[in-house]
Amino acid sequence: MADLKSYINTLNDLKFEDMYQNDFFLTWEKTFDELKATWTVADALRYLRSHNISTKVFDSGLGISLFRDNSTRTRFSFASACNLLGLEVQDLDEGKSQVAHGETVRETANMISFMADVIGIRDDMYIGKGNTYMHEVANSVEQGYQDGILEQRPTLVNLQCDIDHPTQAMADALHCIHEMGGIENLKGKKIAMTWAYSPSYGKPLSVPQGVVGLFTRLGCEVVLAHPEGYEIMPEVEGVAKKNAAESGGSFKRTNSMAEAFKDADIVYPKSWAPFAAMEKRTRLYGEGDTEGIKALEKELLAQNAQHKDWCCTEELMKTTKDGKALYLHCLPADINDVSCRDGEVEASVFDRYRDPLYKEASYKPYIIAAMILLEKFKNPQKVLEELEKRGKNRIFEA
């Protein structure tokens, strides 16, 4: 762990002023400097907290969370991040139903934001809707701020949409940066983002999309592997290709898990639903076609069941670089004979990586807090410096 000065020095060399008063939607809408600033601030906040220095930069203020779906872990990550900075979380519980758009969104967004500094939204269930909805909310409060309704501009953090899962991918990457001993060490590393079998269906695409969209920025050799029919959004593949070309990495797609694992430095085997099926599901929900949804579910489970061999086994792990690729997962994983009979990963593999997996997850609250800090403060270097100087203990020291 570096000291605070070194984090501040890193920040001094980066250009990220556009993050101020801005939102965080997709990693590929951010410059690489902005991503580096996010990782650096996350590390700096962790440094301060682990040295028992309070990082409360708000003395009152709300962090609003809006989840379309039950979500214990993301909820706690967001709550932890807000709490770390001094914001109190208020949940806006709208249920799973798609909320109305237009007028209603504009009004509700303003009505709940009079004292809101940040809004965190998770809306990943419907293709073509989640990210759009987030923009509607962000535009609404931006307008409210411009019109003098809101005294502050609540900025938005995308806690998972239909396109990207930026807080997850950024936490995954920070974990790899630490495991590999620095961001530059990720250059040329092979990462296998592969589909894996799960006895459930309809898992969001945002994790694989977020990973290929981000790791291609880092100069990695990114391989996306999945059975035929499990394509991700074509736009995101396009993003990955473009990223790879710019970063000096590569992006490849294969239908062979074995090929992806071969000599990989990092593996990320995880189930997801086919993009086309998710689109169909969105349409069926829109039409209120319950029978159609049930039929689609059945069909998808049957389709999944044809690919039970897509499992992260010990055998496959042996084929990775020195037989010890870093195993990643956003958790919870479907573990063979633990959470289900056949799943994404063999129990012994999962067991061996449990500690790193938990560590991986532990970065998320700090990533979210870093996004908030960069959105709300013009000069985060000075904020960090002054926090250390102030030296207020997080836990009272007598």
* Chain residues in the site for a second copy (CB under 8 A): 46, 49-50, 54-62, 72-73, 75-77, 79-80, 83-86, 88-90, 92, 102-104, 107-108, 110-112, 114-115, 117, 144, 147-151, 331-332, 335, 338-339, 355, 358-359, 361-362, 364-365, 376-377, 379, 382-383, 385-387, 392-396, 398
CB 37 to a second copy: min, Å: 16
Pick between residue 63 and residue 227 the one whose CB is nearest to a second copy.
Answer: 63
- Which of 124, 388 has the CB closer to a second copy? 388
- Minimum distance of a second copy from residue 59's CB (angstroms): 4
Of 182 and 389, which CB lies nearer to a second copy in the complex structure? 389
With respect to a second copy, which residue has the nearer C-beta, 73 or 318?
73
Closest CB to a second copy among residues 125, 150: 150
Q: How far is the CB of 118 from a second copy (least distance, A)?
A: 12
Query: If DSSP codes are grouped into helix, strand and coil, which group holds residue 292?
Result: helix
Q: Which is nearer to a second copy, 88 or 231 (CB)?
A: 88
Smallest separation, CB 199 to a second copy (Å): 16
Measured over the CA atoms of residue 368, residue 372, residue 375 and residue 379, the dihedral's sign is: negative
What is d(CA 216, CA 249) in angstroms, rounded to the nearest whole number?
6
Neighbours of 397 (CB within 10 A): 6
Contact 334, 344 (CB under 8 A): yes
What is the distance between the alpha carbons of residues 161 and 163, in angstroms, rounded to a whole number?
A: 5
Shortest CB 58 distance to a second copy, Å: 6
CB of residue 17 to a second copy, shortest distance in Å = 15
Tokens of 14: 């980066």
Minimum separation from the CB atom of position 312 to a second copy (A): 16
The nearest distance, CB 7 to a second copy, in angstroms, is 15
Of the candidates 90, 81, 19, 84, which has an alpha carbon nearest to the alpha carbon of residue 57?
84
Whether residue 81 contacts residue 106, with contact meaning beta carbons closer than 8 Å, is answered with no
Q: Please, are residues 63 and 116 in contact by the beta-carbon 8 Å criterion?
A: yes
Q: Give the whole-angstrom CA distance, residue 344 versus residue 353.
A: 14
In the complex, the smallest distance separating the C-beta of residue 363 from a second copy, rounded to whole angstroms, is 9
**Residue 272: count of CB within 10 angstroms of its CB:** 22
Report CA 151 to chain centroid distance, whole Å.
29
CB of 169 to a second copy, least distance (A): 18
Closer residue to a second copy (CB): 204 or 227: 204
Strand order from edge to edge, sheet including 62-67: 88-91, 62-67, 116-123, 155-161
Nearer to a second copy, 290 or 393 (CB): 393
Residues 6+ apart with CB under 8 A from 345: 196, 269, 311, 312, 327, 329, 333, 334, 335, 336
Nearest residue (CB) to a second copy, 306 versus 358: 358
Contact between 253 and 208 (Cβ < 8 Å): no
Helices (H), 147-289: 166-180, 206-215, 234-247, 257-261, 275-287
With beta carbons less than 8 A apart as the criterion, state whether 331 and 340 touch: no
- Cβ–Cβ contacts within 10 Å for residue 379, how many? 12
Residue closer to a second copy, measured from CB, 23 or 221: 23
Q: How far is the CB of 73 from a second copy (least distance, A)?
A: 5
Pick from 207, 265, 213, 276: nearest CA to 241: 213
Between 9 and 306, whose beta carbon lies closer to a second copy? Answer: 9
Dihedral sign from CA coordinates of 255, 260, 261, 263: positive
C-alpha to C-alpha distance for 211 and 193, rounded to whole angstroms: 7
